[in-house]
Chain A
Amino acid sequence: MIQIAVCVCLVPDTASVFGFSGGALDRSRVTEVINPYDEYALEEALQLKERLGSGEVTVFSLAPRSGSKALQKTLAMGADRVVLVEGEGSDPWRTASILSRALTSWYSDSLPGIVLCGRQSTDFGSAEVPGMLAELLGLPSVCGVGLLEGGQDGVFRLEREIEGGREVLEVSVPVVISAEKGLNVPRKTSMRGVMEGRKKPIEIVDGPTLEEARVGLAGLRPVSNKKNCRIASDAGELAGMLHERGLLQ
């Protein structure tokens, strides 16, 4: 039976109001949700388990204890259990190090066949954790995967988009894969799923605090995209404006 690990982080809902005070996000006005990219990763894990007819899907998340409420959704979607690694996310290196230790200690002697992550988070969006995690685990990785097939014989066929084309890859388990938007359509949670999810375990483990951050956040400021717009009266005038600016070549 294949072990499938899914790494999930919590991010402010993009529908929230983003206010900033004292160089940090004002968290009183945001709701924390599962990172949308991680939902693609989880959905792929669930589909893989269904396709193979067996498997165990474990969600790992570095989050404060209060995050377990938002993580319930992963159980309602169909994950078998959640391992909440207690702590705060900081720089990608520390996050990857903590997740790597959590995975090796949870699975002790053998790594899971596949570790699925979202390509990036929607808050800081560095897209670095999956690749770092793979290297720390000593596994190959493929980032930004838009198609994942096979797996029955321990070999996956993948596709990922590159500039002006796509790459087709074949990888053997164990492997770390990060999910691009469009990999699948994450399922909605049903009432039954929510009820069943409540019976499944959320294990809380201590996050190690050994690693130092390798990147510091020196400052954070709200930005404005404002420009002074000149409105043209018709299409001809608009084209004239571009011509004047020397933009038509």
Chain B
Amino acid sequence: MSDNTIGSEGRVHNRLMVLEQREGVLKGASVDLWHRMQMECGGSELRAVLLGPVDGENPLGQLLGSGVIHHAGDERLREYDPRLYGAVIRSLFEGEGCSELLFADTALSRDLAPALSVRLGASLLSGCSALPRDRSCSRRLYSGAAEGNFVAASSRAIFTISPSSIPLELATGTVPEVLPLAIPALRGDDLPSIVRQVVMQVGMVDVAEAAVVVAGGRGMGGAEGFTLLEELAFLLGGTVGASRTAVDEGWRPHGEQIGQTGKLIAPRLYIACGISGAVQHLAGISGAGTVVAINSDPHAPIFEATDFGLVGNVGEVLPDFIAAIRDFLKMQ
């Protein structure tokens, strides 16, 4: 197996990425990261570890490009267990002599990566805005007012990568080799398991993973106002998000909050309705492709961070906007 060659000066790092499944379905964020790494590594072999069984016929068929996937398909890994997950990753990482471990930035990696970094004696760089280059990456700081460039100082490093709206060019023709992987024998100093149960809300796409996000803020006037946004999101195959105000007012659940204290999103299309655009909110949408804003205040700061804008009361203009979009969609 060849090492992965990354970096402009021909530096060789041995990278391992973690593929995540939940409820037997590959997680979009980690599939996306696999393909981003494929684009960057230009033909050299990727190495990934997939934790837990994946259901369906040819379940790994969506993973394109060359490389090796070590699949630990043990049923005990179906649900996230930090003890088992940590042990599998650690044993493979050390056994293969890897120096870099990459995760998509998700609830799971946020939970697992800090503990793993202590066990592996690795530098940890979370929430990287892009794939690391020369062991460094960038991230927004101070409520989004600044960007910091961080460098791993240890010989081993773990990176968690934020979603990106940069379009993927999928490699076709090659598929990775899948090798089965067993759970290693657990050491006595491993922590006890925590009883877990996962309650999924069916049909809900997470804002951090959606290709289209339609979000509302104070200008929606109340929880009822979001019915229009749900309609628009459905039409565009997207999901609904909310500003901090809308969440603090109790109009939307916290999981939909976009911004520095909520989720960082990277849809190809983001539509902000009745959101003024506080700097913390703008930090959360800096990864978005095209930004559209509808707001009654022409001086709202959101317009400065917007590609296409419309000045108007959302309650009045949204029905027309939805109707116009429906017409365009019918034409196609």
Interface residues of A (CB under 8 A from B): 12, 14, 18, 20, 25, 36, 92-93, 96, 122-132, 134-136, 138-144, 146, 160-172, 180-182, 212-223, 225-232, 234-236, 238-243, 245, 247-249
Interface residues of B (CB under 8 A from A): 22, 27, 29, 80, 82, 106-108, 110-115, 117-119, 122-127, 136, 139-154, 189, 191-192, 194-201, 204-206, 208-209, 236-237, 254-255, 260-261, 268-269, 279-280, 282-283, 286, 290-294, 303-312, 317-318, 320-321, 323-325, 327-329, 332
Do B110 and A242 touch across chains, with their CB atoms under 8 A apart?
A: no
Majority SS of interface residues in chain A? mixed
- A146 to B247, alpha carbons, bound, how many Å? 14
- A22 to B130, alpha carbons, bound, how many Å? 25
Given A142-B194, A223-B146, A218:B141 Cβ within 8 A: no
Do A235 and B196 touch across chains, with their CB atoms under 8 A apart?
A: no
Which residue in chain B gives the minimum CB-CB distance to A124?
A: B141
Counted as pairs of residues, one from A and one from B, with CB atoms less than 8 Å apart, the total is 255
Q: How far is the CB of A222 from chain B (nearest CB, A)?
A: 5
Do B149 and A219 touch across chains, with their CB atoms under 8 A apart?
A: yes
Given A225-B286, A227-B304, A238-B308, A142:B145 Cβ within 8 A: no
Residues of B within 8 A of A125 (CB): 127, 141, 260
28 residue pairs bridging A and B, Cβ less than 8 Å apart: A92-B114, A131-B113, A132-B124, A138-B189, A140-B192, A143-B110, A143-B111, A163-B209, A165-B198, A169-B196, A214-B154, A215-B123, A215-B151, A216-B151, A217-B148, A217-B149, A223-B147, A225-B279, A225-B286, A227-B291, A227-B304, A231-B303, A232-B309, A232-B310, A236-B320, A238-B324, A240-B324, A248-B236
- Residue in A124, A127, A170 whose CB lies within 8 Å of B110: A127
Give 10 nearest A-B pairs by CB, closest first. Answer: A131-B114, A239-B324, A235-B320, A165-B200, A163-B206, A235-B321, A135-B118, A225-B305, A162-B107, A18-B145
Residues of B within 8 A of A216 (CB): 150-151, 153
